[in-house]
Every structure is written in structure tokens, then in C-alpha cells.
Amino acid sequence: MALQKCKITKYTYGKPFFTDAVTEKIAQGEGAPAYVTEIENGFTYQMGDSDVVYGLGENVRGINKRGWHYISNNTDDPNHREDKVSLYGTHNFIIVDGKERFGLFIDYPGKLSFDIGYTERNTLTITAEEMDLDLYILEGESLNDIVKGLRQMIGRSYIAPKWAFGYGQSRWSYMTADEVREVVKKHRENHIPLDSVYLDIDYMERYKDFTINKETFPDFADFVQEMKEENIHLVPIIDAGVKIEEGYDVYEEGVEKGYFCKEADGSYFTGAVWPGLVHFPDMLNPDARKWFGHKYKILMDQGIDGFWNDMNEPAIFYSAKRIKKAMETAKAVDSDNMDMVHFDEFREIVSTLSNNPEDYKSFYHNVDGKGTMVCHDKVHNLFGYNMTRAAGETFEELEPEKRVLMYSRSSYPGMHRYGGIWQGDNLSWWSHLKLNMSMMPSLNMIGFLYTGADLGGFGADTTEDLMLRWLEFGIFTPLMRNHSALGTRRQEAYQFGAMEAMKKIIGLRYGLLPYIYSEYMKSALRGEMYMKPLGFDYENDAFAAKVEDQLLLGDSIMVAPVYEQNAEGRYVYLPETMKMVKFRSLTERTEEILPAGHHYVPIALDEVVIFIRPNHILPLSKGGENVADTDFTDLELLGYVTEEASYEWYDDDGYGRDYENPANYTTFTVKADKTVEVKGQKKLKVQVNL
């Protein structure tokens, strides 16, 4: 592969499991790898005092991962506290930026631990459970070159349909079709823009994948159509476990064909999740994957064009054999006057029922479909990836001309080609708004571009101000979805006194869409990041490298959201002079040129602020109540131009896969005197606003 600005070298240790994460052939290095020192089961590197370590995708803590340790071990953990070491995904890519600059990608589907200055402040240590892995060292002149190199190596990121860049409303669960209708009606009558409503597990019949509860969602295909006429896409959830129930075709077929994960003795592994007892489809078996993927067609045939894959770490509430043993132990310690030793024993067995490592060690994958069995534990981090790949490969086969929305909870590199991710079960905490901001660039690096967090927070009760502030950041994330858990306070925009403000903020998203979509598409097609830490573009600015709470969004703007309760503004660092634009809505705005340096910027609860870089512009639409209703041919160019600015704008029909068509590109060149030159094949109405 001819990589212009990034040199990648591969070092193979032991017998790595083939993950299909890397799509290009990379030359093997000779001798020991550069930069790192080999140690038993891993590598180590001495960091400089102020080196920055970027990466690790979806994880707790900041953009700079120094000062903590992390373990790649996909886990269903709804409590994203600072002391956690694993979340739902595995993203083994870091860039060390300091006295030396290089990237490390480790293709290994088992448990991998990163100690980034946790045990010793300046020591980075990476250790694998077993030394069967591929290490890739990436050398490039700039951080952006290293990212680009990695992305060329792992293939193009998933591209969502344009409607999926609109606002989505979700809840665990909207229980009936009428409840969904009500949600849509409330948005439409209050003119709160909306493109999608999510169906959580209760749309199914007893949580059986690919079924519909006919009592609560009668005439489903008609209902999907009815919603389409309102420009609403319904997006059902699919869970990893298949309910064990006689007469349920997916279960019966899976058993008959041998497509479920098996224990060592050849019997099917039985776990329990929402449906009760389940078997897990063997997503790593190519035949089983194809079979499971084709089941999505059942819903596609009823008009569905988007899905989210859940519980695919896979989450296991308990395994059949473990709960049996637990019950026996409970009985054995049962007494009217339980002493603390027995109580501890009892508590221990109950608290280790879910996601137990021993259970993950007790089932196997038929990885070639021909009987080569690999223990789940060794390839654990590939399960969600391959579930999503099952769907993605089916979509490519059945809908070659059409994009289908797909995102997953669990992930591994390679999956980024088939779908996006949402950032799991966060809480309605201010610190989780901040976490959402930190995860964006870390995930973008490794190719997960279509991503976002549950806006307003999933677990726990949200507050009006948190909802507002979170929306003010969420309008910039490709996936923009409000989602909340069972039993929590309702958090649809119309539930709040501040509905008018929320409506204007969501409306601003539709104004920004021509820019957001264009930046998304360019970053996917070119292997770049959609959201970047400041250090990526201001490499010689030591202060910029340490900014944790501001992000560059595409070429033209920087965002600096408020993420603290009761704050009426915040400090913002400007690496260069920029134009600040403060929006109360798409049309109500003020502007101010701010010089490079530190500023305190007042930002009221209902305001959104962006900073435009010098000699940059961005295209805005006139807004809309859904994507179909938003006119991408009537544009306003907003900018900060002292001499000349040029913007390469990407736009397409939003549904097809004709990405390489040159007609998708238009170039706007604006001069300080507001004259504009438009080069491209589209018929556009363009107005300049500097």
C-alpha cells in the first residue's frame, strides 16, 4: 500500500487470531519494533513528562489518557465512573505525542491492558493476556498523518443515511404504536424537528428478535409507512441473545443448523438476558453470521431502514449453570441467623452472576464454520463487531443502492466499516456530558465517526439545564439522539418549561446540517477525524495540546460547550484569532472577533457558541423540521474572512452509495468584500454573510 505520509510496520507475535480489522497488506518489520521495548507479554515505553497519549476510543477519563489504566475487555457496565477500566468497546490504538511521535495499533481480540502512567508516572506499559497479536507501529510527521495512515489500513468508515443526521427521540420503551404517534405528534405540533423514533425492546413479542408484539404494534408495516409519511424513521433495537422458545423460528433454525455458541461438550451454551433463557448466535462463524444477518430482512420487508444492536458484548445476566449453583450455595448458607461469613458468601455469589468471566470461558466459536473451535474468552472483543458485520454484510447484499442506519453498543476496529456506535448507558450526570466530549475524538481516530451519547443522559433523572447543555453539544455529534432509561424522568424536549429554547437549539442542528454532513462525509471518505483535539491542528502550540474541553469540528470551526451546572459561561482558549458566533436560534445571533488567547465567554443557558477559524467559511441551510424538509440548495455562507476563504462542500442525495461522484463536490471561494465564486455542478442559491 502506498501511504504518502505515514509509514506503518507490522510485528507479529505468536499466532494472532485473524480479526479482519486490517484490510491492507502491511510489510513485516525486521528485528525489534522501534520506540517500544519488548517485555514479557507486552511492550513498554518511557514517556516524557509532558507527552500526551491520545486514543483508546470509548473509555473513561479525558482525551489525554495519561494517569490511568485501561483494559480492553468489552463490558456491559452502566456505571461509567472514573475508576472503571473497561466499557463496551475495544479500541487498541494510541498515539504518543511528545519527545517522540508515533502511533501503536494492536490487533488482539483478547484482554489487553494499557497502563499509561498509572503505576509509574512516565511509564507506558501494554500487556496482553497471551502474546498472540499483531503490533503496528505508525510513524508520520503529524498527528493527522498518523490517523490517516491507520484509517487507510483499516478501511473506510461506515456512512449513515442523511436522515440519520437529523434528531432522534428514544426511550426505553415507547410501549405502543399510539405512544410513538403521540411522541411524533408532540414534536410536530410544537415544531420541534425530528427524523426518527427508536423502538426499544418492548416492541418485540417477549423480547424475541425480529418479532413484533401484535397487540401493542398492530399492522406494523402500515405503521412504519404511516410514520414515513410524516418523515419519521422507526429504528428498532436488536439484541444479541435469541430466546429459547419452541415454535420460535429463529431459535428452531439456529438449533437445527448448529448456529449457536456451544460448550466444550457440544451442547448449546445457555445464558439469560431480557427474553429469559437464550442461546447466542455464533457471530464468528461465517455461515451463522450470514444466517443471522439475513433475519434483519424480516423487518426491512416491513419498511424498516435502520437498526441498533444491543447487549452484544455479549451481556449475560446469568448463565443457566451458574444460577443453579448459586441457588444451591444460597440454600446451603440459609439460616434464620446468618453470620457474616455466610452472608459474604451469599452476597458474593449473587453479585458475580452477571457477565462472569468464567462463563465467557465456557463457550466456543466455530470460527471457520468447519469445526475449528475457539474459546469465546480469547475472542471476546469480537462478538459485537461480528453481530454488526452480520447485518452490514446483509445490507450491502440486499440493498446495494441504499444506505441503512446501523449502530452497535459493543465494537472493535473493523466494525467501523459496517456501523457506528452509541456510547452506551451513561447517566444524567454533568461529568458524562464531559465524557461524551472526550470520547468523540478518541473514537473518530479509530474510524468510529458515526457516534454520539444518549443526550440528556440514559440512567438517573435529568434536569432541564443538563438537557439544554447536552443538546448544545449534541447538535454537533453525527448521531444526535435523546434516550433515557426505564423509570427515569421523561426527557423529550416538550416535557420541559424550556421547550422553546430546546426547539431552537435542535433547529440549529438543521441549519448546520450542510456543514455537518459535508464534514462527516469528507472525514469518512478521506480517513480523517470529524472532531479533533486542538493539538491535532495546532501542533506547535503547547497549550493547545492540553485543552480537554474544546474540539475542532471539521475544517472551519471550534466548539467549546458548557458542561458545568449553573455556569453562565466558561473560559475558552483560542489558538489564533477567531470569530465567535453566538446563536439563540439559527437566525438570532451575535458575532464578535476575539484575539488569540484566553477569554471568559458568557454563554447563557439557551445559547450555542461556535468559533470560526480565520479565512474559513461554513454553509448553513435555512433550517427544517426534518432532513427531507431541509433545503440543501438554499445556502448561507457564514464566515470569518479577512482575505479569502475557500470551502470544499460535499453533498449528495443522502441515500445512495454514489460517494465518488465528482458532482458531489462544490467549491465556494469567498473574498473579504463578500463576493463569492461557486464551482460545481449543483444549482444553488448562495448568500454570503461575513
State which H helix or E strand residue 609 sits in.
strand 608-612
Considering beta carbons, is residue 217 or 640 the nearer one to ligand MIG?
A: 217
Considering beta carbons, is residue 432 or 599 the nearer one to ligand MIG?
A: 432
Considering beta carbons, is residue 200 or 607 the nearer one to ligand MIG?
A: 200
Given 200, 549, 555, 625, the residue binding ligand MIG (CB under 6 A): 200
Is the distance from CB of 221 to CB of 305 less than 8 angstroms?
A: no
In the complex, minimum distance from the CB of residue 424 to ligand MIG, in angstroms, rounded to a whole number? 6
Fill in the per-residue mask, 98 to 127: x = in contact with ligand MIG (CB under 6 A), - = not in contact: ------------------------------
Considering beta carbons, is residue 432 or 483 the nearer one to ligand MIG?
A: 483
Considering beta carbons, is residue 236 or 286 the nearer one to ligand MIG?
A: 236
In the complex, minimum distance from the CB of residue 308 to ligand MIG, in angstroms, rounded to a whole number? 8
Considering beta carbons, is residue 103 or 424 the nearer one to ligand MIG?
A: 424
Closest among 454, 316, 313 to 385, alpha carbons compared = 313
Reduced to 3 DSSP states, what percent helix, strand and coil does the chain have, rounded to the nearest 5?
25, 25, 45
Q: What length is written for the chain? A: 690
Binding to ligand MIG in span 259-298, by CB under 6 A: none
Cell triple for residue 621? Answer: 441551510
- List beta partners, residue 124: 45, 116
In the complex, minimum distance from the CB of residue 435 to ligand MIG, in angstroms, rounded to a whole number? 15
Considering beta carbons, is residue 157 or 482 the nearer one to ligand MIG?
A: 482
Fill in the per-residue mask, 347 to 386: x = in contact with ligand MIG (CB under 6 A), - = not in contact: ----------------------------------------
In the complex, minimum distance from the CB of residue 513 to ligand MIG, in angstroms, rounded to a whole number? 25
In the complex, minimum distance from the CB of residue 410 to ligand MIG, in angstroms, rounded to a whole number? 10
Considering beta carbons, is residue 244 or 311 the nearer one to ligand MIG?
A: 311
Binding to ligand MIG in span 414-473, by CB under 6 A: 424-425
Considering beta carbons, is residue 203 or 360 the nearer one to ligand MIG?
A: 203
In the complex, minimum distance from the CB of residue 274 to ligand MIG, in angstroms, rounded to a whole number? 7
Is the distance from CB of 349 to CB of 330 less than 8 angstroms?
A: yes
Closest among 211, 208, 210 to 242, alpha carbons compared = 208
Given 8, 87, 143, 201, the residue binding ligand MIG (CB under 6 A): 201
Fill in the per-residue mask, 476 to 505: x = in contact with ligand MIG (CB under 6 A), - = not in contact: -------x----------------------
CA distance 394 to 390: 6
In the complex, minimum distance from the CB of residue 175 to ligand MIG, in angstroms, rounded to a whole number? 13
In the complex, minimum distance from the CB of residue 88 to ligand MIG, in angstroms, rounded to a whole number? 8
Q: Is 313 in the site for ligand MIG (CB under 6 A)?
A: no
Considering beta carbons, is residue 371 or 487 the nearer one to ligand MIG?
A: 487
Given 35, 172, 346, 429, the residue binding ligand MIG (CB under 6 A): 172
Considering beta carbons, is residue 19 or 451 the nearer one to ligand MIG?
A: 451
Backbone angles phi, psi at 476, to 5 degrees: -100, -10
Considering beta carbons, is residue 200 or 519 the nearer one to ligand MIG?
A: 200
CA distance 150 to 3: 10
Q: Which residues contact 2 (CB under 8 A, 6 or more apart)?
A: none
Considering beta carbons, is residue 139 or 425 the nearer one to ligand MIG?
A: 425
Number of residues counted as binding ligand MIG (CB under 6 A): 10
Given 409, 416, 579, 599, the residue binding ligand MIG (CB under 6 A): 409
- Collapsed DSSP state (helix, strand, coil) of residue 341: helix
In the complex, minimum distance from the CB of residue 452 to ligand MIG, in angstroms, rounded to a whole number? 12
CA distance 273 to 301: 27
Considering beta carbons, is residue 201 or 449 the nearer one to ligand MIG?
A: 201
Residue type, 133: L
In the complex, minimum distance from the CB of residue 108 to ligand MIG, in angstroms, rounded to a whole number? 25
Cell 493539538 belongs to residue:
535
In the complex, minimum distance from the CB of residue 112 to ligand MIG, in angstroms, rounded to a whole number? 24
Cell triple for residue 554? Answer: 471539521
Considering beta carbons, is residue 66 or 409 the nearer one to ligand MIG?
A: 409
Beta strands in 173-213 (DSSP E): 196-199
Is the distance from CB of 57 to CB of 443 less than 8 angstroms?
A: yes
In this structure, is the dihedral angle defined by the CA atoms of residues 79, 84, 85 and 91, taken in order, positive or negative?
positive
In the complex, minimum distance from the CB of residue 76 to ligand MIG, in angstroms, rounded to a whole number? 7
Fill in the per-residue mask, 561 to 600: x = in contact with ligand MIG (CB under 6 A), - = not in contact: ----------------------------------------
Fill in the per-residue mask, 229 to 258: x = in contact with ligand MIG (CB under 6 A), - = not in contact: --------x---------------------
In the complex, minimum distance from the CB of residue 483 to ligand MIG, in angstroms, rounded to a whole number? 6
Given 107, 139, 209, 310, the residue binding ligand MIG (CB under 6 A): 310
Considering beta carbons, is residue 60 or 544 the nearer one to ligand MIG?
A: 60
Considering beta carbons, is residue 92 or 355 the nearer one to ligand MIG?
A: 355
CA distance 341 to 338: 8
Report the residue number whose CB is nearest to ligand MIG.
Answer: 172
Query: DSSP assignment of 409-421, as one string?
Result: SSB-TTGGGT-EE
* Cα-based torsion angle of the residue sequence 355, 357, 361, 365 in order, rounded to the nearest 10 degrees: 40
In the complex, minimum distance from the CB of residue 458 to ligand MIG, in angstroms, rounded to a whole number? 6
Backbone angles phi, psi at 507, to 5 degrees: -60, -35
Is the distance from CB of 508 to CB of 501 less than 8 angstroms?
A: no
CA distance 583 to 510: 13
**What contacts 24+ positions apart, CB below 8 Å, involve 173-177?**
173/199, 173/200, 173/201, 173/202, 173/203, 173/486, 174/198, 174/199, 174/200, 174/202, 174/203, 175/202, 175/216, 176/216, 176/217, 177/216, 177/217, 177/218, 177/223
Region of residue 566 (left: phi > 0; alpha: psi -120 to 50; beta: else): left
Closest among 229, 170, 163, 160 to 195, alpha carbons compared = 163
In the complex, minimum distance from the CB of residue 486 to ligand MIG, in angstroms, rounded to a whole number? 7
Is the distance from CB of 44 to CB of 36 less than 8 angstroms?
A: yes
In this structure, is the dihedral angle defined by the CA atoms of residues 623, 475, 467 and 545, taken in order, positive or negative?
negative
In the complex, minimum distance from the CB of residue 454 to ligand MIG, in angstroms, rounded to a whole number? 7
In the complex, minimum distance from the CB of residue 563 to ligand MIG, in angstroms, rounded to a whole number? 22
Residues that bind ligand MIG (CB under 6 A): 172, 200-201, 237, 310-311, 409, 424-425, 483
